[in-house]
A and B are shown apart, each in its own frame.
Chain A
C-alpha cells in the first residue's frame, strides 16, 4: 500500500540554523500539506500546496518558513532560521484528486537547541 515517507525521522539543530525537512508524498497525489505538533499539544495546520504554489497557510507559517516541490516526487519544508519554539514533530500529508482524505507520514521530530 502506498504511503507517505519523511526524512529524517529526527533532527537536532542549533538555534538560528536552517533546516530542510523532506517528504515523499503518495505518487499520484496532487495536494500536499505540512502540519506540526508541539509536544503535548494538538496537531496544527501549517500550509497546503497545489499546482506548485501555496494554496493556504496558517499564521504560524511566517516568512521563516517556505515549501517547495523541487522535483516530481519530493515536497520540502524549509525553516530559514530556527527558533527554540520550532521544536516539534512535523508531519507531511498528501491527498489525491478528490482532496477529501489526507494521508500522513510518520513525522520528523525537530529539536532546536
Chain B
C-alpha cells in the first residue's frame, strides 16, 4: 500500500529565508508525486507534480521539488520565502493509474509559519 510521511508538523522560517519541507513516500514502483498547498479555510491548490523525467520539477509561486528515488523522497524547496507562503503543505502520492481513477494518498501536512 502506498503511504506518505511528512516528518515536520510545524516549521517556522523568517521571511526571505530558504525553505525545505520534507516528504518521504512508500510505493513499490515509480510513483506520481504531488505537493499541494492549503491556505486557511481554502481548498487544495496544486503546487507541482512529478511523473517521470527530470527529477527536479518547478512549480508555481517559485517552488521546486526534487525526486530522489534512492531516498524515497520528494522534498519541496523555495529559495526565499514570502509572508504569503504561510499555509499548510501536503505531499501526496498516486500509485499509478487504476482502471477508473488514481487515488491520492496524502501526508499529514506541514504547517508553515513565516516570521516577518
* Cβ-defined partner of A48 (8 Å) among B36, B44, B103, B109: B103
Tell me which residues from 29 to 71 in chain A have a Cβ below 8 Å from any Cβ of chain B: 31, 33, 35, 41-45, 48-51, 53, 55-56, 58
The segment from A12-20, A77-85, A97-105 that touches chain B is A97-105
* Cβ-defined partner of A95 (8 Å) among B43, B102, B107, B108: B102
Q: Known contacts being A106-B43, A107-B43, is A100 close to B51, with CB within 8 Å?
A: yes
Q: Separation in Å of the A35 CB from the closest CB of chain B?
A: 7
3 closest Cβ pairs, A-B complex: A55-B100, A48-B101, A50-B100
Interface residues of A (CB under 8 A from B): 4, 31, 33, 35, 41-45, 48-51, 53, 55-56, 58, 91, 95, 99-107
- 17 cross-chain CB contacts under 8 A: A31-B102, A33-B103, A35-B104, A41-B108, A42-B90, A48-B100, A49-B100, A55-B98, A55-B100, A58-B103, A99-B102, A100-B32, A100-B94, A101-B49, A102-B104, A104-B45, A107-B42
